[in-house]
Amino acid sequence: MMTYDLAPKTIWSNLSRETLQIYLTHAQQAYNDLLIGNKPISVSYSQETGAKSVTYTQANMQQLQGYIMDLQRALGINRRRAIGVRFR
């Protein structure tokens, strides 16, 4: 009997849950630091292809939000559900 892994592969697929949680915590701290006016924030992570580092500033907070959302999705956090509407 053949089995297939239908889960979509992402850049996060080969990382442990603990590593993803660490990355998420650092990204959320960076976001908080930007919101309260601290200096530009650098976030680093490593993958199979090597280490990556990005510096976020107030100008690219949306990219940081996207990074946080990607990590949350990889961890199964913050999944959006369809909004149900009832008519009476």
Higher local confidence (pLDDT), 1 or 40: 40
pLDDT for 84 equals 65
Separation of CA 81 from chain center: 18
CA distance 28 to 57: 14
* 40 vs 2: CA distance, rounded Å: 50
C-beta atoms surrounding 3 within 10 Å: 5
Under DSSP, the state recorded for 57 is -
Residue 85 to residue 27: CA distance in whole angstroms: 34
pLDDT at 86: 67
Mind listing the pLDDT tens digit for each residue in 10-69?
A: 777 788 889 999 999 998 988 888 888 777 777 777 767 777 787 777 767 888 888 899
Does CATH number 3.30.1280.10 belong to domain 17-75?
A: no
